[in-house]
């Protein structure tokens, strides 16, 4: 057994590949072992997010939540569409509301806007109970619910003017939101002549009128092309910083939510099955080491007091370890003369976690954070 | 209220509603004019009286009134249904009653405009053909028409707003129009229970017919009270419809 050159075949897979990966999240890291093995969600498009979430959580959570729902339930006839839902959305957050089609996302959002009356439970927005304080809450909220709504025979500008009048805003507001959503050049075109994506932008523009403190956006990227999705996503993510908005955004696509949200709520068959940071959803994974002689490597490790969970042909598996300890494991094996081919952290992707949580058939809630 | 009312008119921009209303009005006026010309030719000078004009108008408007209300109510509502804007308006803090009231007021103004234009035409036609205008019954008739519109407007608007399919309100409008033309064959008390008959009920003059020929006109006794009852029923129907809409419009 030839000793391994330290700088060569050490591979770790810390980066997180969401929708594409399917099974194991993996990425390649060449070189030193100090690569971060914790999954980071502050990828491109999320500047400044991620690390400071924990501190912000501590600080902001002491504030009263912007949305607070307790035992929220909606029945249509005998069908229970939203079941005992507890939801808390904190100020300045982008809360991703994730669930398959028909899970109850739109119905929940409608109840937050007093468009549907809960069959049971309580909702308060800005600490004000609904429906009693409807007229105090709604002026502070912008919303986009289900398919975009617009008067097709009116121009984009005229549509926005109707919202402007209802919200008692200055005329300049129309210009501002048109620019914000990139419709300024199409303002004088009838909305019925807009493309799907432009209609969606118009809907978003209506929601953004008056820079509301809370935005409730139901699948806002529906019908947009990939470039449009990216643009709208960036816009949504920028809203808290831009005007201190809190955003509740729904989607049936995990990849959407994880790129926008710093808090996730997963709804399935009307049950909220998870609520909290997307990070705590993640599977910590296992450490897999490909070696020439797995039996010998396992013996070496066990002798030194490491826990080996599986030994296969050419591969030993250990529980997930922090970076410095991975380095120690590698050093131990190398010094014992083992030839390492690969070191990787394998974890279940968020996609898998999500798919396990949201099944075709209803289940009892698993997690409540 | 004025703000939301203005919005309703803005939403009608570029719709063909004004054209539709104009066509309906032109059709009704042409019909009345032809009918009056024939009556004048048949009965001579005795028929050149505003009583004849009012009688003729009431007969036709029993048909056209409900149609006008049904068409406009349907258009005002279909506009929102097609745009899927109703929930959005509510989420924008327009209350359900406010939306109903704004559309109700729009309809009232549209019917008022219709009456004004039609009335002006008839006054002009009367002046040209030598009809003696009696302003008191004409005034009562106009007020009566406004009162008569209240209940049908409320009913049609409610139907049009709660049902997405406008077949319902248009169907009711056609039936109401047909029912309205039968007003002369139905006892007064019964007519008071049928909002689509109100256009006929508010006629302030009746013809005096002797031996099958027209001999003159007499004011209807207590017409002011009838108009007041029609207005009161209209107001009550409006309040009930408003209450129903507020409950139904919430999922
Ligand atoms: N007005 C309604 N009447 C009856 N059932 C409804 C109504 N609205 C929604 N539902 C049902 O409630 C369930 C959840 O719908 P929804 O909240 O729209 O889901 P999502 O937005 O997550 O796709 C679906 O099964 C849907 O059919
Ligand atoms: Mg939905």
Same-domain pairing of A175 and A105: yes
Listed residues A241, A264, A281: the one ending a domain: A281
Half-sphere exposure of A239 (CA within 13 A, CB side): 36
Mean pLDDT of B52-64: 85
Is A192 within 8 Å of chain B by CB? no
Same-domain pairing of A112 and A248: yes
Return the domain boundaries, chain B: 2-250
Residue A73 neighbours by CB under 8 Å, 6+ apart: A80, A82, A83, A84, A85, A118, A119, A120, A121
pLDDT tens-digit readout, A211-242: 999 999 999 988 788 888 888 888 888 888 88
Asked if the model's pLDDT at residue B191 lies above 90, the reply is no
| Cβ-defined contact of B91 to A113 (cutoff 8 Å) | yes
Q: Using a 6 Å cutoff on CB, does residue A265 contact ligand 1? A: no
**In the A/B pair of chains, how many CB contacts fall below 8 A?**
72
pLDDT at A232: 86
Q: Which residue of A has its CA nearest to B93?
A: A138
Closest Cβ opposite residue A163 in set B3, B92, B95? B92
Q: Using a 6 Å cutoff on CB, does residue A240 contact ligand 1? A: no
Closest Cβ opposite residue A116 in set B6, B89, B250? B250
Give the E-state strand segments of chain B in sequence order: 205-210, 213-219
pLDDT at B130: 87
Is A363 a member of any domain? no
Strand (E) or helix (H) holding B25: helix B17-43
| CA dist., res. B196 & res. B223, Å (int) | 18
Asked if the model's pLDDT at residue B54 lies above 80, the reply is yes
pLDDT tens-digit readout, B96-112: 999 999 999 999 999 99
Asked if the model's pLDDT at residue A344 lies above 50, the reply is yes
Same-domain pairing of A83 and A200: yes
Listed residues A281, A303, A336: the one ending a domain: A281
Listed residues A281, A304, A324: the one ending a domain: A281
Mean pLDDT of B108-135: 90
Is A361 a member of any domain? no
Long-range CB contacts (< 8 A, 24+ apart) of B184-187?
A: B184/B59
Is A140 within 8 Å of chain B by CB? no
Same-domain pairing of A74 and A162: yes
pLDDT tens-digit readout, A133-176: 999 999 999 999 887 899 999 999 999 999 999 999 999 999 99
A283 burial (CB, 10 Å; 0-12 / 13-18 / 19+) is middle
Interface test with B, best of A73, A125, A156, A166 (most B CBs within 10 A): A166
Q: Which two tokens stand for residue A275?
A: 């609520």
Same-domain pairing of A249 and A276: yes
pLDDT tens-digit readout, A268-327: 999 998 898 887 776 667 889 999 999 999 999 999 889 898 898 889 998 888 888 888
Q: Using a 6 Å cutoff on CB, does residue A340 contact ligand 1? A: no
User: Comparing B167 with B245, which gets the higher pLDDT?
Assistant: B245
CA nearest ligand 1 atom 25, residue: A102
Asked if the model's pLDDT at residue A368 lies above 80, the reply is no
Between CA B153 and CA B160, with CA B154 as vertex, the angle to 5 degrees is 85
Is A80 a member of any domain? yes
CA nearest ligand 1 atom 24, residue: A102
3-state secondary structure of A325: helix
| CA dist., res. B108 & res. B158, Å (int) | 14
| CA dist., res. A95 & res. A262, Å (int) | 6
3-state secondary structure of A131: coil
pLDDT tens-digit readout, A105-115: 999 999 999 99
B-proximal residues of A, 50-89, CB under 8 Å: none
Is A214 a member of any domain? yes
User: Comparing B222 with A290, which gets the higher pLDDT?
Assistant: A290
| CA dist., res. A266 & res. A96, Å (int) | 8
Q: What does pLDDT average to over chain B?
A: 87
Same-domain pairing of A125 and A142: yes
- How much of chain A exceeds pLDDT 90, in percent? 49
Q: Report CA(A101)–ligand 1 centroid distance (Å).
A: 9
Is A369 a member of any domain? no
Is A362 a member of any domain? no
DSSP summary character for residue A8 = S
Nearest to A206 by CA among A183, A229, A237, A240: A183
- How much of chain B exceeds pLDDT 90, in percent? 49
Read off the pLDDT band of B43 (50, 70, 90).
Answer: confident
| Cβ-defined contact of A166 to B93 (cutoff 8 Å) | yes
Same-domain pairing of A274 and A294: no
Among the bound ligands, name the one nearest to the CA of residue A100: 1
**Domain containing A104: what range?**
6-281
Residue B149 neighbours by CB under 8 Å, 6+ apart: B65, B69, B107, B108, B111, B198, B234
Nearest to B18 by CA among A17, A88, A261, A153: A153
3-state secondary structure of A14: coil
Residue A276 — left, alpha, or beta (φ > 0 → left; ψ -120 to 50 → alpha)? Answer: left
| CA dist., res. A201 & res. A197, Å (int) | 6
Closest Cβ opposite residue A162 in set B10, B15, B82? B10
Answer yes or no: are the C-beta atoms of A248 and A216 closer than 8 Å.
yes
H helices of chain A, in order, are: 53-60, 105-112, 134-137, 156-167, 172-181, 196-208, 226-243, 254-260, 278-281, 294-303, 323-335, 350-357
| Cβ-defined contact of A151 to B79 (cutoff 8 Å) | yes
Any idea what the CATH number is for the domain that residue A255 is in?
A: 3.40.50.300
Is A312 within 8 Å of chain B by CB? no
Same-domain pairing of A143 and A61: yes
User: How many structural domains comprise chain A?
Assistant: 2
Asked if the model's pLDDT at residue B249 lies above 80, the reply is no
Buried b (16+ CB within 10 A) or exposed e, A215-226: bbbbbbbbbbee
| Cβ-defined contact of A161 to B10 (cutoff 8 Å) | yes
| Cβ-defined contact of A115 to B11 (cutoff 8 Å) | no
pLDDT at B221: 82
Pairing verdict, β A271-276 and A286-291: unpaired
- How much of chain B exceeds pLDDT 70, in percent? 96
Is A322 a member of any domain? yes
Please state the pTM of the whole predicted model. 0.78
Strand (E) or helix (H) holding B38: helix B17-43
For chain B, how long is the longest CA-to-CA vector? 66
| Cβ-defined contact of B93 to A134 (cutoff 8 Å) | yes
Q: Report CA(A99)–ligand 1 centroid distance (Å).
A: 12
| Cβ-defined contact of B95 to A135 (cutoff 8 Å) | yes
Same-domain pairing of A224 and A339: no
Interface test with B, best of A104, A116, A162 (most B CBs within 10 A): A162
Answer yes or no: are the C-beta atoms of B4 and B94 closer than 8 Å.
yes
Same-domain pairing of A88 and A36: yes
Read off the pLDDT band of B4 (50, 70, 90).
Answer: very high
pLDDT at B236: 96
Same-domain pairing of A116 and A208: yes
Q: Report CA(A248)–ligand 1 centroid distance (Å).
A: 18
Is A110 within 8 Å of chain B by CB? yes
| CA dist., res. B17 & res. A100, Å (int) | 42
pLDDT tens-digit readout, A6-60: 333 232 332 222 333 333 333 223 333 333 333 333 333 333 333 344 444 444 4
Interface test with B, best of A74, A114, A115, A168 (most B CBs within 10 A): A115
| CA dist., res. A252 & res. A323, Å (int) | 34
3-state secondary structure of A69: strand
Of A32-41, A118-127, A285-294, B1-10, where does the model show the most confidence? A118-127
Is A19 a member of any domain? yes
Closest Cβ opposite residue A147 in set B84, B90, B95? B84
Is A133 within 8 Å of chain B by CB? no
CA distances, B78 to each of A13, B11, B103, B108, B161 (Å) = 57, 12, 12, 18, 8
Answer yes or no: are the C-beta atoms of B218 and B206 closer than 8 Å.
yes
Mean pLDDT of B195-210: 79
pLDDT at A283: 65
Is A113 within 8 Å of chain B by CB? yes
Same-domain pairing of A189 and A315: no
State the complex-level ipTM. 0.86
Nearest atom in ligand 1 to the alpha carbon of residue A99 is 22
Answer yes or no: are the C-beta atoms of B205 and B218 closer than 8 Å.
yes
Answer yes or no: are the C-beta atoms of A99 and A257 closer than 8 Å.
no
Read off the pLDDT band of B132 (50, 70, 90).
Answer: confident
Is A141 within 8 Å of chain B by CB? yes
Measured CB to CB, residues of chain B less than 8 Å from chain A are 3-4, 6-7, 10-11, 13-15, 79, 82-85, 87-95, 250-251
Length of chain A: 369
- Taking the CA atoms of residue B78, residue B81, residue B85 and residue B86 in that order, the dihedral angle to the nearest 10 degrees is 100
């Amino acid at each position: 057994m030839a000793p391994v050159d330290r700088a060569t075949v050490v591979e770790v897979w810390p980066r997180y590949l969401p929708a594409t990966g399917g099974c194991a999240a993996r990425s390649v890291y060449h070189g030193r072992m100090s690569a971060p093995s914790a999954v980071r969600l502050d990828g491109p498009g999320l500047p400044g997010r991620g690390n400071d979430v924990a501190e912000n959580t501590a600080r902001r959570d002491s504030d009263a939540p912007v949305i607070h729902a307790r035992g929220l339930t909606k029945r249509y006839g005998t069908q229970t569409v939203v079941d005992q839902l507890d939801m808390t959305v904190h100020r300045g957050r982008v809360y991703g509301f994730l669930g398959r089609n028909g899970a109850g996302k739109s119905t929940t959002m409608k109840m937050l806007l007093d468009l549907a009356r809960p069959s049971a439970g309580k909702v308060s927005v800005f600490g004000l109970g609904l429906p009693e304080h409807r007229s105090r809450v709604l002026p502070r909220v912008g919303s986009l619910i289900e398919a975009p709504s617009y008067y097709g025979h009116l121009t984009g500008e005229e549509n926005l003017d109707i919202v402007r009048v209802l919200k008692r805003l200055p005329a300049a507001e129309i210009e501002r939101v048109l620019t914000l959503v990139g419709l300024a050049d199409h303002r004088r075109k009838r909305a019925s002549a807009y493309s799907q994506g432009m209609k969606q932008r118009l809907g978003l523009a209506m929601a953004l009128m008056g820079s509301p403190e809370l935005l409730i956006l139901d699948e806002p990227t529906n019908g947009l092309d990939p470039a449009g999705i990216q643009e709208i996503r960036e816009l949504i993510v920028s809203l808290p910083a831009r005007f201190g908005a809190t955003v509740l955004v729904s989607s049936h696509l995990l990849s959407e939510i994880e790129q926008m949200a710093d808090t996730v709520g997963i709804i399935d068959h009307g049950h909220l099955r998870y609520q909290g940071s997307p990070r705590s959803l993640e599977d910590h994974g296992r450490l897999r080491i490909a070696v020439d002689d797995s039996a010998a490597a396992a013996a070496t490790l066990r002798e030194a007091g490491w826990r080996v969970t599986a030994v296969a042909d050419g591969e030993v598996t250990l529980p997930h370890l922090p970076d410095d300890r991975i380095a120690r494991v590698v050093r131990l094996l190398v010094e014992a003369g083992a030839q390492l081919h690969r070191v990787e952290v394998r974890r279940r992707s968020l996609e898998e976690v999500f798919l396990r949580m949201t099944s075709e058939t209803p289940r009892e809630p698993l997690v409540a954070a | 209220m004025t703000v939301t009312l203005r919005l309703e008119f803005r939403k009608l921009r570029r719709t063909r509603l004004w054209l539709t209303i104009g066509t309906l009005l032109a059709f009704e006026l042409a019909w009345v004019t032809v009918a009056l010309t024939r009556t004048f030719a048949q009965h001579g000078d005795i028929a050149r009286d505003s009583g004849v004009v009012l009688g003729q108008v009431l007969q036709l408007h029993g048909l056209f009134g409900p149609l006008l209300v049904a068409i406009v109510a349907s258009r005002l509502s279909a506009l929102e249904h097609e745009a899927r804007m109703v929930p959005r308006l509510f989420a924008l803090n327009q209350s359900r009653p406010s939306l109903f009231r704004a559309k109700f007021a729009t309809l009232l103004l549209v019917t008022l405009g219709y009456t004004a234009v039609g009335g002006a035409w008839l006054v002009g036609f009367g002046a040209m053909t030598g009809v003696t205008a009696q302003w008191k019954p004409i005034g009562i008739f106009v007020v009566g028409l406004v009162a008569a519109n209240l209940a049908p407007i409320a009913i049609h608007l409610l139907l049009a707003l709660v049902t997405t399919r406008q077949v319902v309100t248009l169907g009711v409008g056609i039936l109401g129009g047909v029912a309205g033309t039968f007003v002369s064959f139905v006892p007064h008390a019964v007519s008071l229970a049928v909002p689509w008959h109100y256009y006929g009920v508010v006629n302030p003059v009746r013809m005096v017919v002797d031996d099958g020929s027209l001999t003159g006109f007499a004011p209807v006794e207590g017409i002011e009270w009838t108009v007041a009852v029609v207005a009161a029923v209209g107001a009550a129907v409006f309040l009930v419809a408003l209450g129903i809409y507020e409950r139904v419009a919430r999922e």
